[in-house]
Structure 1
Amino acid sequence: MAGIKQLAGQTLWYGASSIIPRLLTYILTPYLTLKLSGANYGDMTLVYAAIPFLNILYTYGLETGFFRFIQHEKHKKDLYNTASISLIITTVLFTAVLLLFTGPISRIIKVEDHPEYVTLFILIVAFDSLSTIPFAKLRQDGRPVKYALIRITGVLIYISTLYFFLSVCPSLAQKDPNSVFALLSSETLGIALVIVANLIQSVFTLIMLWQELKAIRWRFNVQQWKELMTYSLPMLVAGFGGMINETLDRLMLGWWGVPASGNIKVEIGTYGACYKLAILITVFIQAFRMGAEPFFFKQALGENPQRVYARVMKFFVIVICTMFLFVVLYLDAWKYFIQNPVFWEGLKIVPVLLLANMFLGIYYNLSVWYKITNKISAGAWITIGGALITIVINYLFIPRFGYMASAWATFFCYGSMMVACYLWGQKEYPVPYAWKKLTAYITIVVVLFYVHRLLTYLWPHMIFNYTLATVILGAFLLFVLRVEKNEFKKLPVVGRFLK
């Protein structure tokens, strides 16, 4: 239990560094859907669907490899230097090459009228990749406060710059149409100003990591680098597979979609905007991963780590089930974060995507077995299998069902990965997960969602809707507290109220 308390504390801080920036950018969703046209929002969705693929290429699994080898005494001295030098050299090379092909890349991601978007996001990825190992060092050194402050400050810079470009500049341009502000507020720039604001954020984030960058010594351990690459490169394959599962559906909508609305960019924007409503679960998963990755590796060196992993999984599933209900039961309120009513038509995909992301979070928990046993290729094969499911379902059904096909492709992809990882892991590294109980929790919240949906369909009254949602959510929490009373008693805050 002490280990779980430590993980909870780290997840809290890393959660602050993840949740607060994500919530701040989440608050931007109504602002951006108000300021950008449906087609421009579609362009933004396409651009930000392409960026993660470059992130994977630029970092090629080094972060996970860093955490894996830093646990061993013989690697601690030079590993930070070796990993940092490797990343600096490859970042310069990748950036130089990719800038030569901005035209073809813009055609691939369906923003051929604006190749400048590609130039800008290549630079964003370059600066972000240079921050990867310094951020990993902060996590490994147990400095979540500094980590959180830098992340949050970066997002505040982004929001301030974005507001200046999209609100202040147009206002100043109206006062003086011949000023430079008129150029900055020109509608012909499309989403370029959004991407420039993001680039400014990335540059300032790297500057705030100056102390960590200054600590790099130009000492390159070739043997250590070979070991690091042997472990990390399979993560590149897994990473690309993961990005296919996570973001390629937006690009596939551009390739294969038949727009019912007459504009495929509007439908892509609808999908991207409604996907944002799954943010509570995805933010928690990201925060959990940041705390859990170094935590799992450290626990592997102790006694009976499998028992700790099983307990962590139980609490994790309880939290994401609660978050699922919190979003779907109050969906009529959450939709107002999307200020363009044209996008509300896509709200039907939100429950499907929430369940898909729950499966993804469980998969990340289960994946500990192949990371600590050095069988990274297993993760690559599982992810590739999921990627194939994503591509096949989208290819077959997007022309007929549009973004609904993409939502269900995500569901079946992450669900199959979760099941495959569990079955394979139990053969290689058995962990006593309470899978029957956890399956029951997930089933219960899905049934509760449909009960709420049926009753509110029969009596579509706002007060009844929200009252019923609150009763259902409260009943689920009381049920879980009763079932897991002995476990919750051991927690530092909740336990006081249950003893």
Structure 2
Amino acid sequence: MSIKKLAGQTVWYGIPRIVSRFLNFGVSLLGFQLFDPNGSYPYTQIYAVIPFLTVVYTYGLETSFFRFAQTHDRQKLFNTLNISIWISTILLTVLLLAFKGPLTDFIEMKKYPEFVTWMIWIVFFDTLYTIPLAKLRLEERPRKYAFVNVFSVLLNIAIVLFFFYVARPAHEAGENSLLALLYNPRIGIGYFIIANLIASGVTLLLLYKEFTSFKFEFDTRLWKEVLHYSYPLIIVGFGGMINEMLSRVIYRKVLTESATQAEFELGVFGANYKLAVLITIFIQIFRMAAEPFFFNQSRSEGAQKMYARVTKLFTIACCFMFLVISLFLESWKGLIASKHPEYAKGIHIVPILAMGSIFLGIYYNLSIWYKLTNKNMMGAYVTIGGAIITIVLNIALIPEFHYTGAAWATFVCYAFMMVVSYVQGQKHYPIPYAKKKLITYLVIVTLLYVIHEFLITRNIPAKAAYFPYVYYGSSLLFLGLFTLLIVKVEKREMQKMPFIGKYFA
């Protein structure tokens, strides 16, 4: 598989995924428009916990499916892993529902215990279609994959709009109708969770062909091999979720302010975290196509050079995204703070989180070494180290610096994981990364943001009539300068690129 094919796969996985994630992003922004920070904090809390549960429910089987599909009978593997995940999902769901009370207390959701129940069922449905979706990716069927994802998101959005723009007006008008009865003001932002639950359940129906294609054939020996490979990935995944989500899960526990203030800050933190997620969306899209690509490419001659090239192009793309986010913060601010200006109090953490997300994306590229060499425990150790840093820094920084401290904890954690993974990877699976060049690009975009922030944003009154012209003009200038740099330095690389290469010939 070539870079051109990877690009094509990324487009097929990417465009629908971009559409899906941006639609999800938009619907979450709707939540920030409808509810102030205190009203939106339950949404932030629930969606900080879901990734933790997902790691436990899936226990690394998705990556294992790609890995073992290269050496084992794919149908037998598909059958075995499907049976495994069905049984474990049912057992875990029963267990969580039985101990829902302690879970609700732990995640500070005592006011909304029903939200926790809905959360558990969301994870239940999402887990069941993990392997069928992985099968679509492995078989390079991105059209079906795209349809399933986009339909699910559109259904989710339609349900949200129904509750807030059809049922709620009927309720507020005092109508004596079924529509009016469908809306309960106490649930509030919980309707976003209900919509997600319904969409997740319906998605299973869209994959009925994939579900009916598996037989009740369970290979115990193969299952044990897979678990031996995947159990370190549980540690990797769980550690990754600690690094990404812990700050929001424990925020109320470590902050010394009142509960109301903590809820307010958590709502602000969650809203601004959403803006940094724009880079994370790209990273997730890239991983959709890259993970099977990396495994398929592993037996090819010159695989290491291919990995190095992919990482360079990935980093350049992330640098552009960082500049678009950080140099145009005034525009992004309007997405979350147009109705509730208090959300804008946390806008300064977005560039910190965005650069941290880039480090995480580079780490994902670097981590291919331990997956290909069957040294998953090494990856687990790196993630554990990052998790320890996350825990310590969040506990130390949040009481003093609030969500700014949480943002820096994320930044430091991902920087650590990126550096350690690179150093260890070069020992066990050397790849000729363009290290100096990539570090230079990351430093340049950081300096461009810092210069823009201190020379423009902090020295020109925001209320001045000429502020928008200077602000956006300088933003476009800095973005253009970086573009010229890349075009000049990477001209040969650009000429090799599919679709756009002809413009650099």
Q: How does 1:111-122 map to 2 (within 5 A)?
A: 111-122=109-120
Contact 2:75 2:214 in 1 (8 A): no
Give me the TM-score of the superposition, normalised by structure 2: 0.96
Code of the aligned partner of 2:264: V
Kindly state the Cα deviation for residue 454 of structure 1 after the two structures are TM-superposed. 2.0
Per-residue deviation, residues 216-257 of structure 1 (Å, max 9, x unmatched): 100101111111111111111111101000111101111111
**Residue 344 (structure 2) pairs with residue 344 (structure 1):** yes
Kindly state the Cα deviation for residue 14 of structure 1 after the two structures are TM-superposed. 1.3
Code of the aligned partner of 2:30: Y
**Structure 1 residues 255-264 or 239-248, which shifts more?**
255-264
**Structure 1 residues 297-306 or 11-20, which shifts more?**
11-20
Quote the residue 2:81 is aligned against. 83
CA distance in structure 2 between the aligned counterparts of 1:404 and 1:33, rounded to whole angstroms = 20
CA distance in structure 1 between the aligned counterparts of 2:36 and 2:452, rounded to whole angstroms = 34
Kindly state the Cα deviation for residue 261 of structure 1 after the two structures are TM-superposed. 9.8
Quote the residue 1:28 is aligned against. 27
Quote the residue 1:124 is aligned against. 122
2:307 aligned to which of 306, 309, 325: 309
Contact 1:259 1:402 in 2 (8 A): no
Kindly state the Cα deviation for residue 459 of structure 1 after the two structures are TM-superposed. 3.0
Code of the aligned partner of 1:443: V
Quote the residue 1:482 is aligned against. 488
Contact 1:29 1:337 in 2 (8 A): no
Quote the residue 2:47 is aligned against. 48
Code of the aligned partner of 1:473: L
Per-residue deviation, residues 438-460 of structure 1 (Å, max 9, x unmatched): 00000000011111112212234
**Residue 113 (structure 2) pairs with residue 104 (structure 1):** no
Per-residue deviation, residues 145-182 of structure 1 (Å, max 9, x unmatched): 11011101100000000111122111122344433433
Contact 2:7 2:498 in 1 (8 A): no
CA distance in structure 2 between the aligned counterparts of 1:30 and 1:214, rounded to whole angstroms = 38
Tell me the C-alpha RMSD between the 2 structures: 1.3
**Residue 11 (structure 2) pairs with residue 17 (structure 1):** no
Kindly state the Cα deviation for residue 309 of structure 1 after the two structures are TM-superposed. 0.5
1:146 aligned to which of 125, 144, 156: 144
CA distance in structure 2 between the aligned counterparts of 1:259 and 1:183, rounded to whole angstroms = 38
**Residue 291 (structure 2) pairs with residue 290 (structure 1):** no
Quote the residue 2:7 is aligned against. 8
CA distance in structure 2 between the aligned counterparts of 1:253 and 1:207, rounded to whole angstroms = 37
Code of the aligned partner of 2:427: K
Kindly state the Cα deviation for residue 19 of structure 1 after the two structures are TM-superposed. 1.2
Kindly state the Cα deviation for residue 96 of structure 1 after the two structures are TM-superposed. 0.8
Q: How does 1:59-74 map to 2 (within 5 A)?
A: 59-72=58-71, 74=72
**Structure 1 residues 143-152 or 19-28, which shifts more?**
19-28
CA distance in structure 2 between the aligned counterparts of 1:397 and 1:459, rounded to whole angstroms = 31
Quote the residue 1:465 is aligned against. 471
Per-residue deviation, residues 26-84 of structure 1 (Å, max 9, x unmatched): 11233111212322211110111111111011100000000000011x33230000000
Kindly state the Cα deviation for residue 101 of structure 1 after the two structures are TM-superposed. 1.2
The DSSP-based 3-state class of the residue aligned with 1:338 is helix
CA distance in structure 2 between the aligned counterparts of 1:23 and 1:442, rounded to whole angstroms = 25
**Residue 494 (structure 2) pairs with residue 495 (structure 1):** no
The DSSP-based 3-state class of the residue aligned with 1:459 is coil
Per-residue deviation, residues 446-478 of structure 1 (Å, max 9, x unmatched): 011111112212234111100110111011111
CA distance in structure 1 between the aligned counterparts of 2:160 and 2:101, rounded to whole angstroms = 26
The alignment-based identity, stated in percent, is 46
CA distance in structure 2 between the aligned counterparts of 1:260 and 1:94, rounded to whole angstroms = 34
Code of the aligned partner of 2:425: G
Quote the residue 1:392 is aligned against. 392
CA distance in structure 1 between the aligned counterparts of 2:267 and 2:181, rounded to whole angstroms = 25
Code of the aligned partner of 2:305: R
Code of the aligned partner of 1:268: L
Contact 1:325 1:445 in 2 (8 A): yes
Code of the aligned partner of 1:67: F
**Structure 1 residues 429-438 or 275-284, which shifts more?**
275-284
Code of the aligned partner of 2:367: S
Contact 2:243 2:410 in 1 (8 A): yes
The DSSP-based 3-state class of the residue aligned with 1:474 is helix
Contact 2:167 2:180 in 1 (8 A): yes
